[in-house]
Amino acid sequence: MKTTDLVDNQYLRTDIPKLKSGDEVKVHVRVVESGKERIQIFHGNIVAIQGSGIAETYTVRKLSYGVGVERTFPVHSPTVAKLELLSHGDVRRAKLYYLRDRTGRAAKIREKRDR
Residues 6 or more apart whose CB falls under 8 angstroms from that of 25 comprise 19, 43, 44, 45, 46, 60, 83, 84, 85, 86
CATH classification of 12-97 is 2.160.10.10, yes or no?
A: no
What's the whole-number mean pLDDT along residues 19-26?
A: 95
d(CA 60, CA 21) in angstroms, rounded, equals 9
Give percent of the chain above pLDDT 70: 98
Q: Check: CB of residue 4 under 8 Å from CB of residue 55.
A: no
Note the pLDDT of residue 60: 96
pTM higher than 0.75, yes or no? yes
What's the whole-number mean pLDDT along residues 68-82?
A: 93
Q: Check: CB of residue 57 under 8 Å from CB of residue 50.
A: yes
Question: Using one digit for the tens of pLDDT, what is the confidence trace for 26-64?
Answer: 999 999 999 999 999 999 999 999 998 888 999 999 999
d(CA 46, CA 75) in angstroms, rounded, equals 12
Q: Check: CB of residue 82 under 8 Å from CB of residue 56.
A: no
pLDDT range class, residue 86, cuts 50, 70, 90: very high
What residues does each domain of the chain span?
A: 12-97
pLDDT range class, residue 24, cuts 50, 70, 90: very high
